Structure 1
Amino acid sequence: MALQPRSVPVSWLNPRQIEAFRAIMVSGTVTDAAALMGVTQPAVSRMLRDLQATLGLTLFERRGAKLVPTNEGLTVYAEVARSFVGLERIAHVAREVKERRAGVLRIAAMPALMNGFLPRFVGRFLKDKPRMDLSLSGVSSHLVLEHTLSGECDLGFVMGPLAHAGLIAHPMPSAPMVAVLPQHHPLAAKDAIHVTDFDGQDFIAMEPGGLSRMQLDRIMELHNVRPAVRAETRLSGIVCGLVTSGLGVSVCDPFTAHEFTARGLVIRPFTPSVDFEFAAVRSAQKRFPAVGKALLDAFVLHSRAFIAEAPWTQPEPAAAG
């Protein structure tokens, strides 16, 4: 008979039973969960059975020799996972305090910067700071905003200019988007690419809805350019990977494009200019660590130098056609 869901007072929840449930979800079997917890298999089975009785939910279904989580089990696990992340964060902070380390600088950034440009800079910046640890996450801009607002990260980097009551935004130097081409493509013989060069060409596009895609679509419409879109993707790294495969040409941010030059990507200035705009964000309610400010100031200078020195980010006027 199916268990009946029930309202459960917090005092009824047994942390060890919840740990057993998590261990099964993480390891996949009761046997492995028992090894993970350092207890016997019957003990894990009993804790799971008692937890299901307390919650009034069936958390797993048995299919042959396997336990498969039910929809209810997956829903409960999502909350359990969030709770354990918080507990593990507390344990980590406690270790930091005990070891008297300077702390952890937590940074989240959009994938365009995380393809290599930002990690290399941050690694060099922290190399002479042995008492400072780093947490670095590459996620989409909307998740960067969530992490920054919730205090999960100290500093975030997101697409576009930004205004949000809960955040302090620092505009970063804008960088011209660049044309990216496969090796030996006929257009690679040109010193610079005009948008009209893409008319009829096989093209790799960013998915609709993003700022860069909207800007590029507007320019193509203005110049009556109709490329043959072969693929669409949300990530600039995938764009560059597809271009190096020879599937088509595209336009990309210079930070990602730079990471693919050693893999055969050809980069050319692109006109009319389309700016890749991004911003650094931090919480308006949370104290910004001094090392975070120092890193941000240094990264602004580093980004500005990269943009100024890269020849393909400073396009010469290119004639159409």
Structure 2
Amino acid sequence: MVRINSRQVEAFRAMMLTGSVTDAAKLMAVTQPAVSRLLRDFQALLKMELFERRGSGLAPTASATALYMEVERSFVGLERIAAAAEEIRGRRTGTLRIAALPALSNGYLPRLAGGFLKERPNLNLSFFGVISPLVIDWVLNNQCDIGFAEVPIAHSGLPSVRLPALPRVAVLPAGHRLAAKATLEPRDFEGEAFVSLSAGSTSRHLIDQAFNRDDVRRVLRVEANLSEIMCGMVSSGLGVAICDPFTAQEFEGRGVVVRRFLPRIDFEFAAVFPAQRSPSPVALDLVEVMQQALSELSGRPVGQN
């Protein structure tokens, strides 16, 4: 296999880009004879005619056009590496891959991430809304740079950062009798048709525990694995529910009323990172922005966006 000189390739590319030896020389900051020699040696090395004389200039042959496509791919790759290095230094580069549980991905986190991207014009985003076990699986397999999952985290080996917890809230159909109260307690739900999260989940266990402590009997009408389904059922007037604050916010004003619930049942989640490498600086920046936003949100009254 022939050993190609990089300057010869650079001269060939400059010639293809500019269309003349004179302009190619200017592009390379060398003399015209130097470009001519590089092109001549390149053709001899490849045993291929790349340019043919037409009038006072040179025109590329079909072989040159085909070769240029490969050369340009290589040069674009090299230029992208240099640009990427600069962007990495400015924490603005590439694509940040996020997986997040549905409670966050149904509105709150996309809005936050959108503002985050506006300040980083060279950063792209791949965003996936999946249930917490899948978030952990994708991060474990290095399919995402950062994941947001409900705690406890099933895999203890993943680096994680706990985020500020917010209390779960009561969600009621618009016009429901309990909407007259600013704060609801378990005993208020005695005999109420109830829309619940699926059995076996951490959230379901915590919510059931609060009602069982006061020996409150609810009428369990529906079980759903997603809080969006639960809130959709509530909006139909079917029943009431206890929900994470993020999904409740998305449904408030869409046939759903949100009220404070006591005793406080925190909705807890964390940012998780692949174990095989250090978290990317831009992922850590996102976590910092989210921590600040959640801290501000925790100080607002329920029902105030």
- TM-score by length of structure 1 reads 0.65
2:159 matched to 1:159? no
Structure 1: which 5+ residue stretches go unaligned?
Answer: 1-93, 314-321
> Given that residues 102 and 130 in structure 2 are in contact (C-alpha distance below 8 angstroms), is that contact kept between their aligned partners in structure 1?
yes
Once the two structures are superposed, the pairs formed by residues 109-148 of structure 1 within 5 Å of their partners are 109-148=100-139
Q: Distance in 2 between matches of 1:183 and 1:242?
A: 12
In structure 1, the residue matched to 2:257 is 266
Find the structure with the greater CA-based Rg.
Answer: 2
1:201 to 176, 184, 192: 192
Q: Which SS does the other structure have where 1:203 is aligned?
A: strand
- TM-score by length of structure 2 reads 0.69
> Given that residues 112 and 255 in structure 1 are in contact (C-alpha distance below 8 angstroms), is that contact kept between their aligned partners in structure 2?
yes
Q: Distance in 1 between matches of 2:103 and 2:232?
A: 13
Q: Distance in 2 between matches of 1:283 and 1:177?
A: 29
1:203-256 C-alpha deviation (Å, 9 max, x unpaired): 100000111110111121111111111111010111111111101000000011
1:235 to 226, 243, 264: 226
1:163-203 C-alpha deviation (Å, 9 max, x unpaired): 73431011111111100000000011111111111110011
In structure 2, the residue matched to 1:172 is 163
Letter in 2 for 1:232: E
> Given that residues 178 and 312 in structure 1 are in contact (C-alpha distance below 8 angstroms), is that contact kept between their aligned partners in structure 2?
no
Once the two structures are superposed, the pairs formed by residues 46-195 of structure 1 within 5 Å of their partners are 97=80, 100=83, 102-162=93-153, 164-195=155-186
Q: Distance in 2 between matches of 1:194 and 1:122?
A: 34
Q: Which SS does the other structure have where 1:291 is aligned?
A: helix
Q: Which SS does the other structure have where 2:159 is aligned?
A: strand
> Given that residues 236 and 255 in structure 2 are in contact (C-alpha distance below 8 angstroms), is that contact kept between their aligned partners in structure 1?
no
Kindly state the Cα deviation for residue 265 of structure 1 after the two structures are TM-superposed.
1.2
Letter in 2 for 1:252: C
**Which range moves more in the overlay, 163-172 or 290-299?**
163-172
In structure 2, the residue matched to 1:27 is none
Q: Distance in 1 between matches of 2:201 and 2:143?
A: 25
Q: Distance in 1 between matches of 2:189 and 2:78?
A: 55
1:87-128 C-alpha deviation (Å, 9 max, x unpaired): xxxxxxx79947945210000000000110000000001112
- Give RMSD over aligned pairs: 2.0
Letter in 2 for 1:188: A
Q: Distance in 2 between matches of 1:163 and 1:97?
A: 38
> Given that residues 151 and 286 in structure 1 are in contact (C-alpha distance below 8 angstroms), is that contact kept between their aligned partners in structure 2?
no
Aligned-residue sequence identity (percent) comes to 44
Q: Which SS does the other structure have where 1:309 is aligned?
A: coil
Once the two structures are superposed, the pairs formed by residues 10-49 of structure 1 within 5 Å of their partners are none
Q: Do the aligned partners of residues 196 and 105 (structure 1) sit closer, same or farther apart at CA in structure 2, a change above 3 Å counting?
A: same
> Given that residues 99 and 147 in structure 2 are in contact (C-alpha distance below 8 angstroms), is that contact kept between their aligned partners in structure 1?
yes
